[in-house]
Amino acid sequence: MPDKDLTKKEQFFLFLNKIFFLTLGPFIAAFALEIFLVPNNIIDGGIVGVSIITSYLTKINLGLLVFVINIPFFFLAFNKIGKKFVVQTFYAIGMLSLFLNFFNTHQHPVSHDLLLSTVFGGIILGTGVGLVLKHEGSLDGTEIMSLVLSKKFGFSVGEWIMTFNIFIYGASGLVFGWNKAMYAVLTYFIAYRVIDVVLEGLNSAKSIEIISDKGYEIGQELLERLDIGVTYLKGIGAYSGKEKNIIYCVISRLELAKLKQIIKEIDPRAFIAIVDVHEAYGGRRRGGRKS
């Protein structure tokens, strides 16, 4: 449902942005499959993997198989997940099917080197799939099935996906040989690591909590020397019963060493908790310091 606070023009550009990435993602994924992976008999997991094996054995068009085998999952998603997701997934998989035919150049792969094809195919494939997931679509029906089964039987989505893929990669070993199956597993892990990068971003920051008897002094030094925003929280030590200032801030990785140095100069016994932050937005990074 569109956000009522957005103007029609803003909603239209958001729609165009989503359609662009739901088209670009399948384009990139199809490029990886047809130019790096499929010509070398290296499969992807899920429905795409099933389709690659089936296409190899039956000579049926790969793009057609990807679309047809996913159809039952469209209906499953419609009942369990929602109309918007189904429409966007239907569009993304339709685009993937079209682009698989567009890049259908099995006789001319970029490389016959299995390791190079695995690494670059996995990176490019993960980028394409990640773009689709980031814009609320999917390229694989097994993810939908896993989501439904996890709600019904209690295992996690990841456990169901892994279970399906064990059988798929086992079938790949029987059809293409176990050497190719192991490269396929490597492709899977590379692709999913890249998906995480696409979804979470490369510029991971650090969320910092500092507990110290000299919390205010540390906070002021961070304001002055690092020019970052800090927030003071109140806490009470369970052992000492003393009230303490807890400092919260978000910094870049480059600033972490300097922050530790500042804290050590003021209170070497301060407690510091550091957590990775993949996205930080809203508000201002700098504190409300008067100029």
Co-location of 258 and 115 in the same domain: no
C-alpha span between 251 and 85 (Å, rounded): 35
pLDDT band at 124 (very low <50, low <70, confident <90, very high): very high
Same domain for 37 and 161? yes
Confidence of residue 93 (pLDDT cuts 50, 70, 90): very high
220 belongs to a structural domain: yes
pLDDT, averaged across the chain: 84
- Structure-model confidence comparison of residues 287 and 88, the more confident one: 88
Q: 33-74, pLDDT tens digit by residue?
A: 999 999 999 998 889 999 999 999 999 999 999 999 998 887
Q: DSSP strand E in 3-88: where? A: none
> Is the residue at 290 inside a domain?
no
Residue-level pLDDT at 283: 55
Kindly state whether residues 225 and 83 are assigned to the same domain.
no
Percent of the residues in the chain that have a pLDDT greater than 90, as a whole number: 39
The reply to whether 105 and 33 lie within a common domain is: yes
Whether 259 and 145 map to the same domain: the answer is: no
The verdict on residue 69 lying in a domain is yes
Provide the number of structural domains found in the chain: 2
Judge if 79 and 185 occupy the same domain: yes
Segments forming the whole domain that contains residue 219: 205-277
Q: Identify whether 107 is part of a domain.
A: yes
* Domain annotation covers residue 250: yes
Domain boundary among 179, 200, 221: 200
End-to-end CA distance of the chain: 43
96: its two tokens:
């993937």
Judge if 95 and 190 occupy the same domain: yes
Do residues 45 and 173 both lie within one domain?
yes
Q: Tens digits of per-residue pLDDT, 262-280?
A: 999 999 989 899 988 766 6
Q: What are phi and psi of 172, to 5 degrees?
A: -60, -40
User: 23-50 burial string, b = 16+ CB within 10 Å, else e?
Assistant: bbbbbbbbbbbbbbbbbbbbbbbbbbbb
Residue 291 lies in a domain: no
Single out the residue in 161, 180, 200 at which a domain terminates.
200
Please say whether the beta carbons of 137 and 91 come within 8 A.
yes
Model confidence pTM above 0.85:
no
The CATH number assigned to the domain holding 247 equals: 3.30.70.120
Q: What is the pLDDT of residues 95-112, one digit of tens each?
A: 999 999 988 855 567 888
Task: Assess whether 251 and 231 both reside in one domain.
Answer: yes
Is residue 264 in some structural domain?
yes
Q: Is the separation of the CB atoms in 99 and 31 below 8 Å? A: yes
Range name among 28-42, 67-81, 248-262 with the lowest pLDDT average: 67-81
Question: Does residue 38 belong to any structural domain of this protein?
Answer: yes
Distance CA 2, CA 99 (A): 29
The candidate with the shortest Cα–Cα distance to 119, out of 68, 181, 187, 185, is 187
pLDDT above 50 for 117: yes
Q: Same structural domain for residues 91 and 31?
A: yes
The whole-number pLDDT of residue 25 equals 94
Which pLDDT score is estimated for 4?
Answer: 53
pLDDT of residue 287: 43
Q: What would the pLDDT profile of 174-227 be if each residue is shown by its tens digit?
A: 999 999 999 999 999 999 889 888 877 666 678 899 998 888 899 898 888 888
- Same domain, yes or no: 122 and 215: no
As a whole number of angstroms, the distance between CA 32 and CA 206 comes to 33
pLDDT of residue 245: 78
Whether residues 194 and 225 fall in one domain: no
The band of 288, judged by pLDDT with boundaries at 50, 70 and 90, is very low
Residue 99 in 3-state DSSP? helix
Tell me, what's the pLDDT at 225?
A: 86
| Of 167, 200, 233, the domain-final residue | 200
Q: Residue 1 has what pLDDT? A: 46
